[in-house]
Amino acid sequence: MNKTITEHISENVNLCSNPSELKITDIRVANLNGAPKHCPLIKIYTNQGLVGYGELRDASSATYALMLKSRLIGENPCNVDKLFRRIKQFGGPSRQGGGVSGIEIALWDLAGKAWGVPLWQMLGGKFRDKVRVYCDTDVEGKHTGHDMGLALKKRMEQGFTFLKMDLGIEMLLDEEGTLNAPAGFLEDIKKYSMKAINHQAGSIDRSLMLGKNYEIFTIPHYATGIHVTEKGLDMLEGYVREVREVIGYEIPLAIDHLGHIAIEDCIRFLRRLEKYNIAWVEDITPWHLTHHYERVAHSCAVPICTGEDIYLAESFEPLLQCGGVSVVQPDLLTIGGALETKKLGDMCERYGVAMAIHMAESPIACMAAIHTAAALQNVLAVEYHSIDIPWWNDLALGIDNPLFRDGFVKVPDKPGLSIEALNEELIAEHIHKDYPGMWEPTDEWNNEWANDREWS
Ligand SMILES: [Mg+2]
């Protein structure tokens, strides 16, 4: 029997939803911990029973999403770009971008579920069927480059085809004659917080945001007054050489968290790194200091990368224009979500800059990153930070398990983010102790308002 086009379409559209009449009724959160860091998760509820999943950036605050609730209630979540433009003014760099970005992801999830299509399809279709993943690798405590090499070698044996490690000046703190700084400052760092110059190796906790810790933690690279001696540079270079001796030269190796040192010292170190074929060196100075990036990139032949703290695609453009970066690394949950990442991908094509995607969050953010990476013409890899967390994959139901096979994730066809449900029992087991409760009512945010017009 011949079917009409209308009959074909209606068979393929989720009939429990009438997308044009879909309306947001509620937004609630649950604060998960240890996946791999603090992950504030979002649910957007609708008048048709569909629920969209979102997530704020790692170590962000759910408040950044909840303050948007009153601006979204009653709106059709399928109008993703329209709603994004309304809430865009409430995002900002780093974790501040988390609310707008997390909501954007949840809106796409709802639109996909309502119309029955995966996120990558709504972004224009896919360029690949599987997405390469790279695995961040840490070695706990005092160790050598050889030890790091062995840890990375294990990743290669697990099938990963792209590697990243941390290498920072904190390993020099107890080595005499390797660092100099204003008298007493290195002792301050050791006393108040070893994490202050290399905080990302661990999870950020509230204590780092208080008192003297906060003061030290927030001194930017150029203002610490820390310099690396030739002996210190020898040690850092020796570490990289030992790593390469173990893992060989055939596989890309990126480096993060050099530490808060002056850019002149960065340049001295990066020149030494040229012969080790480094994929990129990340965040060597605050991202908004465009002229620093320009100077470093033009002073050495190592690819320079930044971007995980940059809000909106347009904010990347000065760095791309001046040739300050060879690789950008947006986090979907800071940049503003999937569509901003797609826009950045287009910008990268124009300037001839590569993209990798930063991701240190739960399977919700991960699936958003995988779908978006599938829809980008060029992408090196998506980051994965949770390989040593055995329960991470089980947080989302309906996705591949194991999700990562031979260093890749297969791009799924299921609607939205392709997550059928969250594992509520598992989330309950790992709720952040400082933020108990799951998906509790958020009525106190229903009447939040201001004059949102940005001009007079
Ligand atoms: Mg980083």
Q: What is the pLDDT of residue 197?
A: 52
Which DSSP state fits 2?
A: P
* 276 closest CA partner among 322, 316, 238, 317: 238
More confident residue, 172 or 204: 172
What is the rounded distance in angstroms from the CA atom of residue 311 to the CA atom of residue 318?
A: 13
Q: What is the pLDDT of residue 140?
A: 83
CA 281 / ligand 1 centre spacing (Å): 9
CA 57 / ligand 1 centre spacing (Å): 13
Q: What is the pLDDT of residue 13?
A: 57
* 295 closest CA partner among 262, 327, 317, 254: 262
* 315 closest CA partner among 324, 405, 390, 156: 324
CA 54 / ligand 1 centre spacing (Å): 22
Mean pLDDT of 79-83: 98
CA 65 / ligand 1 centre spacing (Å): 23
CA 15 / ligand 1 centre spacing (Å): 43
Q: Which residue type, as a one-letter code, is found at position 434?
A: D
Kindly report the number of other CB atoms within 10 A of residue 302's CB atom. Answer: 25
- pLDDT over 90 (residue 364): yes
Kindly report the number of other CB atoms within 10 A of residue 147's CB atom. Answer: 17
Mean pLDDT check: name the lowest of 95-99, 189-193, 233-237, 267-271: 189-193
- Are 113 and 80 within 8 A, CB to CB? no
What is the rounded distance in angstroms from the CA atom of residue 426 to the CA atom of residue 245?
A: 41
Give Rg (Cα) of the chain.
23
CA 439 / ligand 1 centre spacing (Å): 30
Kindly report the number of other CB atoms within 10 A of residue 319's CB atom. Answer: 24
CA 255 / ligand 1 centre spacing (Å): 9
pLDDT band at 189 (very low <50, low <70, confident <90, very high): confident
Cross-strand pairs, 438: 30
CA 410 / ligand 1 centre spacing (Å): 24
Q: What is the pLDDT of residue 414?
A: 98
CA 256 / ligand 1 centre spacing (Å): 6
Q: What is the pLDDT of residue 325?
A: 98
- pLDDT over 80 (residue 200): no
CA 359 / ligand 1 centre spacing (Å): 9
The tens digit of pLDDT for each residue in 146-163 reads: 999 999 999 999 999 999
- Are 131 and 373 within 8 A, CB to CB? yes
The tens digit of pLDDT for each residue in 304-353 reads: 999 999 999 999 999 999 999 999 999 999 999 999 999 999 999 999 99
- Are 417 and 364 within 8 A, CB to CB? yes
Count Cβ neighbours within 10 Å for each residue of 421-438 and write b for 16 or more, e otherwise: ebeeebbeebeeeebeeb
Q: What is the pLDDT of residue 9?
A: 61
Q: What angle do CA 292, 293, 299 make, to 5 degrees?
A: 90
Q: What is the pLDDT of residue 437?
A: 95
Q: Which residue type, as a one-letter code, is found at position 66?
A: L
What is the rounded distance in angstroms from the CA atom of residue 23 to the CA atom of residue 73?
A: 7
pLDDT band at 194 (very low <50, low <70, confident <90, very high): low
Mean pLDDT of 406-430: 98
With H, G, I as helix, E, B as strand and everything else as coil, classify residue 182. Answer: coil
Mean pLDDT check: name the lowest of 57-66, 179-188, 207-216: 207-216
Kindly report the number of other CB atoms within 10 A of residue 359's CB atom. Answer: 27
Cross-strand pairs, 53: 43
Using CA of residue 359, residue 168, residue 60, residue 354, what is the dihedral sign? negative
Q: Which residue type, as a one-letter code, is found at position 107?
A: L
More confident residue, 3 or 267: 267
**What is the per-residue DSSP string for 416-442?**
BTS--EE-HHHHHHTB-TTS--BS---
- Are 233 and 176 within 8 A, CB to CB? no
More confident residue, 145 or 139: 145
**What is the per-residue DSSP string for 314-376?**
GGGHHHHHTT--SEE--BHHHHTSHHHHHHHHHHHHHHT-EE-BB--S-HHHHHHHHHHHHTS
Q: What is the pLDDT of residue 14?
A: 56
Q: What is the pLDDT of residue 207?
A: 80
What is the rounded distance in angstroms from the CA atom of residue 414 to the CA atom of residue 108?
A: 13
CA 108 / ligand 1 centre spacing (Å): 26
Q: What is the pLDDT of residue 143?
A: 92
* 326 closest CA partner among 343, 302, 308, 350: 302
Q: How far is CA 416 from CA 69, 108, 412, in A?
A: 21, 6, 10
CA 90 / ligand 1 centre spacing (Å): 24
CA 170 / ligand 1 centre spacing (Å): 16
Q: Which helix (H) or strand (E) holds 40?
A: strand 38-46
Q: What is the pLDDT of residue 203?
A: 63
More confident residue, 213 or 56: 56
pLDDT band at 191 (very low <50, low <70, confident <90, very high): confident
More confident residue, 45 or 11: 45
Q: How far is CA 449 from CA 101, 264, 279, 444, in A?
A: 20, 47, 46, 12
Peptide bond into 36 cis (omega under 30): yes
pLDDT band at 120 (very low <50, low <70, confident <90, very high): very high
CA 71 / ligand 1 centre spacing (Å): 32
Name the pTM for this structure. Answer: 0.94
Percentage of residues of the chain with pLDDT beyond 70:
94
With H, G, I as helix, E, B as strand and everything else as coil, classify residue 52. Answer: strand
Domains, the chain, in order of start with CATH, read: 5-117+434-445 (3.30.390.10), 130-178+228-422 (3.20.20.120)
- Are 399 and 369 within 8 A, CB to CB? no
Mean pLDDT of 239-252: 98
Q: What is the pLDDT of residue 438?
A: 98
Average pLDDT, the chain: 94
Residue 354, phi then psi, degrees to nearest 5: -85, 160
With H, G, I as helix, E, B as strand and everything else as coil, classify residue 414. Answer: coil
The tens digit of pLDDT for each residue in 253-276 reads: 999 999 999 999 999 999 999 999
Q: What is the pLDDT of residue 137?
A: 87
Residue 76, phi then psi, degrees to nearest 5: -85, 115
Q: What is the pLDDT of residue 199?
A: 45
pLDDT band at 201 (very low <50, low <70, confident <90, very high): very low
